[in-house]
Amino acid sequence: MFCAMHITSRTFCLMALLVAVGCSSSSSSARRATTPEASASPAKASSYFSDWPAGQSPKEIGDRVARHFVESPHQNFGNPGRPRHITYPEVCAWYGALTFANATNNDEQKSALIKRFAPLFGEEKPLIAPPTNVDATVFAAVPFELYIQTRDQRYLDLAQPMADRQWGEPSIRPSSTRPSSTRRATSNPIASEAVKRGLSWQTRLWIDDMYMITTAQTQAYRATGDRKYIDRAAKEMAYYLDELQQPDGLFYHAPDVPFFWGRGDGWVAAGMAELLRSLPQDHPQRERIMKGYKLMMTSLLKHQDEKGMWHQLIDDPTAWPETSCSGMFAFAMITGVKNGWLDPSTYGPPARKAWLGLISYLDDHDDLHEVCQGTNKKNDRQYYLDRKRITGDMHGQAPVLWSATALLRPGDH
């Protein structure tokens, strides 16, 4: 504490110091930036994220990609026609567009995104899937974000029951009408064990879940301030880290599939970054999750190619550069540098290179090329190498928006 006034009593200065410390300890976690993980200079971190080449700034790119999203119809995993339900890649892009609009104070863009959602309260309501699996439940992230930005109660009333249903016992319906995902959950030994541990019954130990489950719950915490949601997300993430992270910091697609699939690991990196942004500094799981995050970032540095990209199989330099995973890793790394979790001199240049490498795959229609198609797990290396490479798929559009947002907003801690 700096004593600006001349004070003769040393006792009074000591008392003032104790008062200041007490006030500081009661401040919100967003203001506690004195821990070693958040000790990097914001100015130094930001120095790597400015002076962009013409047309390549996060503001310019984000505006283009967000506008393209608003103008796009609901996607159906690259198939023709209208989807049966809103797909999780669209949810992720929608969330990214909303965070970008908020970061840039773009009210026109925000209004367009709200307008896109409005039919889901009416004639398009059947497009909202029942929250019977992780891919369906992550939809809640969008109405939670809309509630955070507008305080319109309708969004919270829609999203919160979805987040709540993800915990506890799975809903039981007559077998003839119960969704197959719910039927599987009641007999799946992994899910059964998860419920015993206080985890979600939607637990599968697929690495994709480390974004899908934790983002829905983290958004619920951001919207409501209810600690139970962030506790759920942190406990789930720590469990997956203990079960799935390999000694080198990367993650197999599933326990029985020993391949480091790019986008699968991308979900992990993005999920940890999103969770750590809001996880209180004093949370008992923060140290464990931060350790897993930093170990993964260290490993990713070794596998980034000279153009800033990561590949379809992360540890195979002969595999093709894949854009959706590269965007997710860029988001996670940028977020770490901006928040002081990662040393800026070590990670700032690779994070910058990742952004510039990623956006080099955008075409004149603002569609990202070289996006891996939706991929199930399979214990076959060639299966991953042979996946189709899609253009404009929202698996890729989403992390472009996340990364643009991360580059523009200040650190959270």
pTM: 0.88
pLDDT of residue 413: 54
**DSSP characters over 44-81:** HHHGGG-SPPTT-SHHHHHHHHHHHHHHSPPP-TT-SS
pLDDT of residue 122: 98
Q: Which of 53-67, 161-175, 202-216, 244-258 has the lowest mean pLDDT?
A: 161-175
Q: How far apart are CA 327 and CA 171, in angstroms?
A: 36
Q: What is the pLDDT of residues 13-55, one digit of tens each?
A: 434 333 343 433 333 433 333 344 555 566 677 789 999 999 9
Region 82-103: mean pLDDT is 97
List b or e across 32-56, with b for residues whose CB sees 16 or more CB atoms inside 10 angstroms.
ebeeebbebebeebbebbeebeeee
Q: 10 Å Cβ neighbour count for 207?
A: 28
Contact at 8 Å (CB) between 63 and 366? no
Structure tokens at 273: 């970054």
**Residues of the chain above pLDDT 90, percent:** 79
Average pLDDT, the chain: 88
Q: What is the pLDDT of residues 252-307, one digit of tens each?
A: 998 899 999 999 999 999 999 999 999 999 999 999 999 999 999 999 999 999 99
For tokens 């326990």, name the residue: 255
At residue 168 the predicted structure's pLDDT band, cuts being 50, 70 and 90, is confident
Exposed / middle / buried, residue 273 (Cβ in 10 Å: 0-12, 13-18, 19+): buried
Q: Choose the CATH number for 37-83+205-408 among 3.30.479.30, 3.30.420.10, 1.25.40.10, 1.50.10.10.
A: 1.50.10.10
| Domain-wise residue ranges, the chain | 37-83+205-408
Exposed / middle / buried, residue 3 (Cβ in 10 Å: 0-12, 13-18, 19+): exposed
